[in-house]
Structure 1
C-alpha cells in the first residue's frame, strides 16, 4: 500500500516528514495487525457415500485456492449437516476414511481446519471431525455412534480410527474407539486423561489412578452432546448454535463464512422482478410465478427489486413465502437501483443479498409505519433474523426512523457489526463490543448505498446484474424468465377490484330475482357463476379462503330455510344475512379484525362491498317490479302478481277452510311467532301470523281476523 503525503507537507523540514511517514507507517501496521484472520466455509452434506467424497474434496481444494498462504493461518470450516432424504448413519467407511486422510495430509497444513457440527453427526462421518484440528458444536448436537450400522468391527476400522484420532487428538483415541466399538469401555482418569479398559487396569495396578469415572460402558456406543464435550469433559473448544456465534468464537468476519454454492449442485435459475409500488395483487402474481417455476425443477430464484415499498401485509406475506420455499431452493435478492421503505426489508428474508454499488437500500418511500407498526415489523424481523441467522438492527432502522443503530467493534477479535441497544444486549459478553460510529440519522430511516451495505456486511456480494449473480453460482444454462400467458392475464383481470365488484353486484341481483321465481332457473345459474368468479378472484388476490366461502354458502342456506321452510323472518334469516355480509367483507381483506394502521386504512374499502350489496338489492327489486313484467321472455321466469279476478278466485278457494268462528277468541301460542307459527284455540291447532311481528311461545293471543287458512293474531 502506498502512503500519500499532501503537497503542503513538502515545505516542512525533512525530519518532520520522516516522523509523519513513520507514524503513518506504524498506524498502517497496527491497522493490518487488527485485521481479523481470513476464513472459508464448506458445507458437507451427509451421508458420505458413492462418489460424494470426490466432490467434497474438490470443494475443499477450491476453498484452499481462495485462501491466502499467510500467517496467521486462515481458517477452513467444514460444516457437517445431514442432507435431505438421507441419514448420517449411512456414511460409508471407505469414503469417510479417504476424506479424513485428505484432511490430515500435508496439503491441508497451511490452514486451520475446524469441524462445525450444528446438528448431530453419527456413523462413520465421525471420522471427519476427528481429522480436524478443532471441533465446535451446537449445545444439543450429538457426536458418536460411529459403528451403529456395522455388524462387526474389523481390525482395519479400529486402526483407522486410532490413526486419525491420534494424528489430530481433537478427541482422544479411546473415545474414538468407544464411538466405533460397542465392546469398548472408556474411563476418565484424574479428570483429564481418557483411556480404554485395558489402559485403565494398567494405570490402576501402577497406582496412578487418583480419581476415575467410567463414561462409556461395554455394550453401548459412545455418543456425547456438544454441551457435555465442552462443559463436562472440556474436549472441544467452543459451543456455537449460529453462524454469527461461530464467527465470533473463531474471531473471523462472518461474511467470510458464506458458502460457495457453485459447488453444491447443478443450478437451474429463474428471474422474477418486483418493480413499482408493492400491492397484494402484485405480490400474489410474483408468488404464483415462483411456485410455477419451482414446480418445473428450478432451484435458484433471483428476485430483482426496484420498488419504493407499499402494502406492509403484502411485504410480510412475500417474506413468509420466501422462507417457506423448499430447502433445496435458494433465493437471491438483487437490488440494482432502489429498494426504499419496506421494500428494503424483503432481501432480509432471502438466502443471499446482492446489490449493485450505486443501488439505494432503505430510506423514505411509499409507506410509513405508525409507532405500533414499527414495533410489529421489528418483532417480525427478529423472527426472520433468527431463521436466517442475520443481525436485524440495520434492517429495522430502514423502516423505523426512531431506531438508533451504531457500528461496534469487538475488543478481542476486531470484528465489526451493526447493533441497536436491544440487539447488543442479546450478544455474548456485550461489554466486549465498543461503539465506533452511529450510522443512523435521528428522525430518518436508514439509507445506504449498495457499496456501503456491502462494506457494513449487510449485503453478501456486489453484482451489476443477474448475469453476474448466475456466474457466482456457476449456472451453465440460461436464466429463465416466467412468461405471462393468457392464463396469467385472465387471473389478473379476475383479481381486479372493479371486476370483482361487478360480479358481486350481478350475483346479488340474480340471487334476489331467483328467489322470486319458481324452481331454479336462469337467474340461479347467473348467481352461481357470478359468485363463483367473485370468490375465485378474491382467492387469487390472497384475501379470500375457505372460511369466506363457507360463510357465504351457509348464509344463503339459512336464508333459504327461513324463506321456504320456516314462515316469517327470524334468527335464520337475520343470521344468514349477517353471514353473507361478513363473507363478502372478509373476502376483500387479509385480516379479520383491524389491528394495525394499515388495516384501519383498508376498512373503508372493505365496507364499500356492503354498499355494493345494498345497491344490488335495490336495483334488483326495481328491475323485478318495473322492467321484468314488460320483457316478453323474462316475465315468464318470475312469479307475477295475480289480476283482480284471479285474486278473488284464490281468496274464494282459501275460504273453504273457514276460521271466522275463532275471531275474537283467546288462544295459546304453541311456537314462537316470528311472525308466523302455530297456536291453539280450544282444541283447534291452526296457523297464525302475529300482526306485531313477534310473540313468545306460550303467550296468550287474540284472533283479530281470518285470512283463508290462517288467523291474524295479536298478543293479549
Structure 2
C-alpha cells in the first residue's frame, strides 16, 4: 500500500514539474551598446542550457548603436525560443527594432514604441542612406513576425503617408493603446505577472539573468570613454618608453592597457585576430623606424597607419573591411576616438613627462638615476688623446650612440647630423665627458 502511495506522489510530482513553464528573463534598460549585445547572447545561451521555453525581455531604452541592435534583432529572429518583450515605458529607435523582432509584445500603461529614425550622437538625423537601411530592417523584421511592414517603416520615415495611422511629415510613435489597435502590441500589462496570466501560463518557473562582476567589468571596459582612456595609456606608455628606454614601468602600463582594451573586444567578437596583429605590426614598424632605420620613411608611415587602424577597426563590427552592418558615422567616430586619444596622449606625455621623472612615485618604481662617487661609483673622463682618432659608428648616432676606436667602444655625440652605423668617424673634440665626433673627410 505504501509503495502505491509513493508511486502516486511521485507521478503527481512529475506532472506538477511538467506543468511548469520555464522562462528565462533579462533586462535591456540602458543604451544599446556592446555590453547589451553581450548580455543578450549570454541570456539566450543560458535559456537554452536551462531548457527554457520562453525568453522574456524587460525593456526600457531610448535606443543606441544600430549595429549592435541589429545583432540582437538577428539573434532573436534565429532563436527557437518563444520571445516576449515587456516594454516598461520606452522602446524608441533601436529599442523598437528589438521589440518587433520578438514573437509577443506587451506594453506598460503609458509606454511608447517607435521614433526609429537613425540619428547621430548629437541627435541630428543622419542622411538618407542610413534611413533607407533602417527602413529595410524594420520592414523585414515586421514581416517575419506577421506585423504590418508599412507601419514599421513609418517608425523611421517621416515622408511616408499611412492613411488612418500617420500623416506625412511625422515619424510614427505609438502609445500602448494605439499599438494594440494596430496590432503592434499583444496587450497592456502593468507587471510581468500579468503577462503570464494573459499568456495562459499557470505555473511559471522564472530564472532571472543576473550579470556577474566580470560582465559588469567587461561592460565598463567596452564603453567609448574607457576605450579612449585605455588608448591614452597604450600610446602614452609606448611614447614614454621610447623616449626614456629602460624605464620599464611605462611599457608595463602600455601592455596592461592594451590587454584591457583588446581582451573584452576579442571576447565580444569585435576585435578579430587580424586587427590585433595589425596593431602589433604597427608598433613593431615604429620601433624599427626609430632604432634601426635612419630618417622617417615607409616603416614609420605604415606603423602609424597600422596602429590607428588596428585600434579603430577593433571598435566596430566588420568582416575584414566589410562594413555593411556598421554605419559610416560609427566607423568615422571610431577613427576620431583613436586619433584624438593618440594626440592627447603624446601631448600629455610631452607636457608632464619631465614632472613624472622627478616624482617620488616614479623614483620608487625605477632605479635611481644618480650614482654617487661616495657610494663607490666612478666615471672615467675620456682622454684628450682620443682627439683626431679614427673609428666607425658602432650604432647609429641620433645624434648620440656608440663608436668603435681600435676595438674599444665609447659613448659619443655627433656634431655632424645623423651618422648611420658603420660609417667612418673621427673624434673632433672632448667636451666635458662627451666624445664629439664627425664623419671622416666631411
* Range into which the TM-score falls when normalised by the shorter chain: 0.5 to 0.7
Instruction: Indicate the structure whose relative CO is greater, using CA pairs within 8 Å and at least 6 residues apart.
Output: 2
Tell me how far apart the structure 2 counterparts of residues 639 and 554 of structure 1 sit (CA, whole Å): 36
Deviations 1:142-200 (A, max 9, x none): xxxxxxxxxxxxxxxxxxxxxxxxxxxxxxxxxxxxxxxxxxxxxxxxxxxxxxxxxxx
Deviations 1:548-593 (A, max 9, x none): 3222112112223334444443322221122112223334445669
TM-score, scaled to structure 1: 0.44
- Match for residue 84 of structure 2? 332
Tell me how far apart the structure 1 counterparts of residues 385 and 312 of structure 2 sit (CA, whole Å): 44
- Match for residue 549 of structure 1? 276
Map 1:480-491 to 2 at 5 A: 480-491=207-218
CA 1:336–1:519: 2 relative to 1, 3 Å? closer
- Match for residue 311 of structure 1? 65
- Match for residue 381 of structure 1? 138
Structure 2 residue runs of 5 or longer lacking an equivalent are: 1-17, 120-124, 372-378, 394-398, 400-413, 428-435
- Match for residue 27 of structure 2? 273
- Match for residue 612 of structure 1? 341
CA 1:377–1:710: 2 relative to 1, 3 Å? same
1:657 maps to which of 375, 391, 401: 391
Structure 1 residue runs of 5 or longer lacking an equivalent are: 1-263, 407-437, 660-674, 676-688, 695-702
CA 1:589–1:465: 2 relative to 1, 3 Å? same
Tell me how far apart the structure 1 counterparts of residues 385 and 160 of structure 2 sit (CA, whole Å): 80
2:185 maps to which of 438, 444, 459: 459
In our comparison, the structure showing a higher alpha carbon Rg is 1
Q: Secondary structure at the match of 1:268?
A: strand
Contact 1:589 1:606 in 2 (8 A): no
Tell me how far apart the structure 1 counterparts of residues 142 and 390 of structure 2 sit (CA, whole Å): 81
Contact 1:300 1:332 in 2 (8 A): yes
Tell me how far apart the structure 1 counterparts of residues 41 and 238 of structure 2 sit (CA, whole Å): 32
Contact 2:24 2:208 in 1 (8 A): yes
In the TM superposition, what is the alpha-carbon distance from 1:627 to its structure 2 partner?
4.7
Tell me how far apart the structure 1 counterparts of residues 230 and 276 of structure 2 sit (CA, whole Å): 15
CA 1:706–1:577: 2 relative to 1, 3 Å? farther
CA 1:514–1:473: 2 relative to 1, 3 Å? farther
Tell me how far apart the structure 1 counterparts of residues 47 and 240 of structure 2 sit (CA, whole Å): 46
Tell me how far apart the structure 2 counterparts of residues 556 and 636 of structure 1 sit (CA, whole Å): 26
In the TM superposition, what is the alpha-carbon distance from 1:356 to its structure 2 partner?
5.1
Tell me how far apart the structure 2 counterparts of residues 654 and 291 of structure 1 sit (CA, whole Å): 78
- Is 1:513 equivalent to 2:251 in the alignment? no
- Match for residue 251 of structure 2? 524
CA 1:575–1:648: 2 relative to 1, 3 Å? farther
In the TM superposition, what is the alpha-carbon distance from 1:522 to its structure 2 partner?
3.2
RMSD, aligned CA: 4.6
- Is 1:287 equivalent to 2:40 in the alignment? yes
Contact 1:284 1:542 in 2 (8 A): no
Tell me how far apart the structure 2 counterparts of residues 599 and 561 of structure 1 sit (CA, whole Å): 33
Contact 1:304 1:335 in 2 (8 A): yes
Tell me how far apart the structure 1 counterparts of residues 385 and 54 of structure 2 sit (CA, whole Å): 78
Map 1:228-267 to 2 at 5 A: 267=21
Contact 1:509 1:620 in 2 (8 A): yes
Tell me how far apart the structure 2 counterparts of residues 441 and 303 of structure 1 sit (CA, whole Å): 32
